[in-house]
Amino acid sequence: MNTNEVLQESLNLIKGELEKEKIETGLMPNITLTYDMLRDWLAGKVSYLMKHNFHKLLSILYRIDVHENNVKRVFDEYTPDEIPSMIAELIIQRQIQKAKTRIAYRKKQDEANKS
């Protein structure tokens, strides 16, 4: 499992969650992002939601399954300017976990189908 594959799968998961909430991602199809680019892009989306629709942000965090205690810790320990990036980090880390599981499962399925 390579890093680019995991990041791309994570990006697809994040985009899917945003699109469920009718949030424009503004990303070109098949774009490849580095981790820092993904975090910065997502931090912008988080910042927008914090200012304009906090309830929607909480709904996304719940659906993605970002642990509530981690979110509370970010709001308690970081400045308002740092919070969007830290929330983006939590989202990305959770989606990376899911992406790794999906990729591993897909590979097992592919191997089973070849047999």
Tokens of 39: 């975090």
Structural domain span for residue 7: 3-23+33-114
In a domain, 65, yes or no: yes
pTM as predicted: 0.87
With beta carbons less than 8 A apart as the criterion, state whether 33 and 25 touch: no
In a domain, 98, yes or no: yes
In a domain, 39, yes or no: yes
Look at the chain and report how many structural domains it folds into.
Answer: 1
pLDDT in tens, 21-65: 999 888 766 777 889 999 999 999 999 999 999 999 999 999 999
In a domain, 28, yes or no: no
pLDDT in tens, 63-115: 999 999 999 999 999 999 999 999 999 999 999 999 999 888 887 777 777 76
